[in-house]
Structure 1
Amino acid sequence: MEQDIIIVGGGAAGFFTAINAAENDPSARITILERGKEVLNKVRISGGGRCNVTHAEFLPKELTRNYPRGEKELRGPFHSFMTGDTIEWFEKRGVPLKIEEDGRMFPESDSSESIIDLFLNETRRLGVKVLTKRAVQEIVQKGEKWEIITSQENFTAEKLLIATGSNPKIWKLLEKLGHSIVPGVPSLFTFNITDKRIKELPGVATPAIVRIRGEKLQTEGPLLITHWGMSGPAILKLSAWGARELSGRKNFEIEVNWVPHLEKDEVLDQLQELKMKNGKQQPYKNAQFDLPKRLWQSLVTASAISEADKWADLNKKQLEELAKQLYSGIFQVHGKSTFKEEFVTAGGVELKEVNFKRFESKVHKNLFLAGEVLNIDAITGGFNFQNAWTGGFLAAKAMTE
């Protein structure tokens, strides 16, 4: 089957590219090839089924700081298409977005089906073919055209976009075509921790600074205690920035600062002040530093302070230990848990081999790459989708010039 544009990958980047390309050139014959039975699965489950479309950051330079891999390369593209353009694009097509307190943006419907319905309706309206169960087995360049050999039939196209996400089989095909591939490793994951200080605290969340001992890796943000250890933005950001350093390590140590608004010396000073002012009070019963009560009580207990002890009873060693627990508590991590379907990978096509004005391969003309097939990934919060929208928009523009 001969087409003008073949898009390999029925996910966010693939559909976004197809719709924009079809609008740019209504006469173009465009087909999306998806290896699975269904399209847009990652969109469906993202954001807990609500689809975290993008993030309310409107300065290109600030937006790029959320990408451990791709920060430099995305700065130019974000000047051409970024958050404001994304909001306008969806709104013009009947799907308005809303901003939540933490900056994440979702459809006003709070349902990823709004995004999926939009994509499917637009491809139907524009005459874009969507074919499932078409696993790509080979990609061959024949003169100025591409031949795509699938499990069911073969296709030829003048222009080819790869938008398969982190797919090792497709990476191998691209490697055969002369591209360098950075090996994939998990990027967004939580920390498995068995520690009596947090064992009874699942569901407790509080701002914290977390760093990996022995590495120059540190993040700040909300930390969530779970049944298996620690999660939340502070941990997920740390896992993204430390993806390569941690890829081969199951066991490592982290240091948690539960009082991120204070300097180290200030913590002990304030504890000594509490001892002076509140001598008759029991530390265990009165949480301090705006910490959740159960977390405070756990740290007090870990500092060899009993429920009956009063502030006036505490000795220097107990105060110093409590200060240490608050400012630099050490926890042993003995494994990592990924987000199954929402799993993000660091790795992919080497970024030096891509023209980011067009999201076109520098190795082959008319071969385009968008989304997580590239060695680009972001922290949680809608940033990975924004990369898909930007890449898809610029690739569509380049393919239909």
Structure 2
Amino acid sequence: MQYDILIVGGGAAGFFAAINAAEMNPGAKIAILERGKEVLSKVRISGGGRCNVTHAEFLPKELVKNYPRGEKELRGPFHQFMTGDTIAWFEERGIELKIEEDGRMFPVSDTSETIINCFLSEAERLKVQILKNESVKSLVWKNPYWKVSTPKSTLSASKVLIATGSNPKIWNFLEKLGHSISPAVPSLFTFNIKDKRIADLPGISTYAEVKVQGAKLQDEGPLLITHWGLSGPAILRLSAWGARELHDMDYTFRIQVNWLPGFSSEEILEKMKALKFELAKQQVLKNAQFELPKRLWQNLVIAAKIEPTVTWADINKDQLLDLAQQLTEAVFKVNGKSTFKEEFVTAGGIDLKEVNFKTFESKVLKNLFFAGEVLNIDAVTGGFNFQNAWTGGFLAAKAMTSTA
């Protein structure tokens, strides 16, 4: 079967590229190849089934800061198609997006089915063929076409877009064709920690600064105590930016937590010396200070070897020093990670030096394009990975239809 454009991968980037290519060149014959029996499966489960479409960041130079890999490369593309364009694209198709307090954007319907139905209806309207259960067995350039073989058929196309995400099998094909591949390692994971200071506090959230000892990795933000250790935006961002470094450490390392970011141990020590007079008769354990969650405060007081009956007047110098350290320089041993399997994100993919980011075309192989996480691009949580998919899909569609 002969096509003008063949899209390998029936996910977010693949569908977005196919739909936009069909709109830009209505006469083009376009098909999406999907190895599974369902398309858009990651869209369906994203954002807890609500689909975190994008993030309300409208400046390219700020938006790129959310991409541990791809920050430099995406700046140009985001000047061509980014958040505002995404919002407008969906609004033109009757889908209104809303902004939540943390900047994440979802369809007003609060269901990913809204996005899926939009893509499927647009594909049908534009006569984009969707071929399911079509696993690619080979990808070969036979001038002037790409030949794509599946168990069911052999297809050819003038241009091929690879939008298969972190698929090692496709990476192997591309490597054999001359591309360099950065191996996949997990990104966006939580830290497994067994420590009595947080053992009985799952569900407690606070704002903190976290540093990885022995590395130049640190972040500040909401921190969530879980049954298995520490999570929340600060930890997830650290895991993304340190994906390769933490992998090389075999996910065994130590972190230092400042539960009172912005304050040093010395500054907190001085504040507590004042409390010895201001709260002289109060028991240290009973009344949480510095706006910390009460149970966290109590665990840190106990860790500083301060007995439950000790008052602020009775606390000694060593105990004050110990408590100041627990509050601002608490060290925890991390032993392993936990990932969100349903929204698993990896760092890895096609070397970004081998891609023209004006068109998302391969610099190694003519008429071969990429979009989404097949590239060595990944982001922190919040809709940023999807924005990369929309931007890459749109610019690749534009390039593929300019001569299609």
Pairwise same-fold verdict (TM > 0.5) = yes
Cα deviation digits, residues 254-287 of structure 1 (max 9, x gap): 1111111323322111111111211111121111
- Rounded to whole Å, the distance in 2 between the matches of 1:103 and 1:305 is 41
In 2, the alpha carbon distance for the partners of 1:284 and 1:98 equals 43
For the pair 1:314 / 2:315, whether they are aligned, the reply is yes
1:309 to partner: Cα distance: 1.2
CA deviations 1:225-274 (Å, max 9, x no partner) are 11111111011000000000011313111111111132332211111111
Distance (whole Å) between structure 1 residues aligned to residue 399 and residue 128 of structure 2: 18
The corresponding residue for 1:75 is 75
Amino acid at match of 2:44: R
**Matched residue, 1:272:** 273
Match in the other structure for 2:329: 328
| Alpha-carbon distance, 1:133 to partner | 0.6
Q: 2:156 & 2:216 partners in 1: Cα distance? A: 49
| Residue type at the aligned position of 2:127 | G
- CA distance in 1 between partners of 2:55 and 2:284 (Å): 41
Q: Which residue does 2:197 correspond to in 1?
A: 197
Could you list the runs of 5+ residues in structure 2 that have no partner in the other structure? none
Aligned to 2:42: 42
Task: Supply the distance in 2 between the matched residues of 1:206 and 1:261 (Cα, whole angstroms).
Answer: 14
Structure 1 position 374, deviation (Å): 0.3
Question: What is the deviation of 1:294?
Answer: 1.1
| Worse-matched range after superposition: 371-380 or 277-286 | 277-286
CA RMSD between the two structures: 0.9
User: How big is the shift at 1:8?
Assistant: 0.3
Instruction: Give the distance between the partners of 2:319 and 2:106, measured in 1 at CA.
Output: 47
- Are residue 9 (structure 1) and residue 9 (structure 2) matched? yes
Instruction: Tell me by how many angstroms 1:308 deviates.
Output: 1.4
SS at match of 1:275: helix
Instruction: Report the 3-state secondary structure (helix = DSSP H, G, I; strand = E; otherwise coil) of the residue aligned with 1:178.
Output: coil
Provide the C-alpha distance between the structure 1 equivalents of 2:314 and 2:89, rounded to a whole number of angstroms.
64
Q: CA deviation at 1:58?
A: 0.7
| Counterpart residue number, 1:394 | 395
Q: How far apart are the structure 1 equivalents of 2:17 and 2:356?
A: 16
State whether structure 2 residue 135 is matched by structure 1 residue 135: yes
Partner SS for 1:305: coil
C-alpha distance in structure 1 between counterparts of 2:17 and 2:174, whole Å: 19
Q: Distance in 2 between the 1:393 and 1:303 partners?
A: 56
1:360-371 aligned at under 5 Å gives the runs 360-371=361-372
Match of 1:180 in 2: 180
| Offset from partner CA, 1:45-91 (integer Å, 9 cap, x none) | 11111111111111101110111100000000000011111111111
Counterparts of 1:133 and 1:283 in 2: how far apart (Å)? 64
1:353 correspondence with 2:323: no
**Structure 2 match to 1:375:** 376
Deviates more, 1:257-266 or 1:391-400: 257-266
**1:344 partner amino acid:** V
Aligned to 1:87: 87
The one-letter amino acid of 2:181's match is I
* Amino acid of the structure 2 residue aligned with 1:266: E
What one-letter code is carried by the residue in structure 2 that aligns with 1:134? Answer: E
Which residue of 2 is the match for residue 20 of structure 1?
20
Q: Match of 1:213?
A: 213
CA distance in 2, matches of 1:391, 1:324: 47
Q: Using the alignment, how far apart are the partners of 1:354 and 1:81 within structure 2?
A: 18
Task: Compute the displacement of 1:95 (Å).
Answer: 1.2
Shift >3 Å, 4+ stretches: none
Q: Normalising by structure 1, what TM-score?
A: 0.99
Q: Which amino acid aligns with 2:317?
A: K
- TM-score normalised to the size of structure 2? 0.98
| CA displacement at 1:339 relative to structure 2 | 1.0
Match of residue 169 from structure 2 = 169
- Secondary structure of the residue that 1:174 maps to in structure 2? helix
Mapped partners of 1:84, 1:268: distance in 2: 48
Q: Secondary structure at the match of 2:66?
A: coil
Measured after TM superposition, the shift of residue 26 of structure 1 is 0.8
Distance 1:283 1:151 in 2: 71
**Identity of counterpart residues, as a percentage?**
70
- Distance (Å, rounded) in 1 between the aligned partners of 2:259 and 2:370: 42
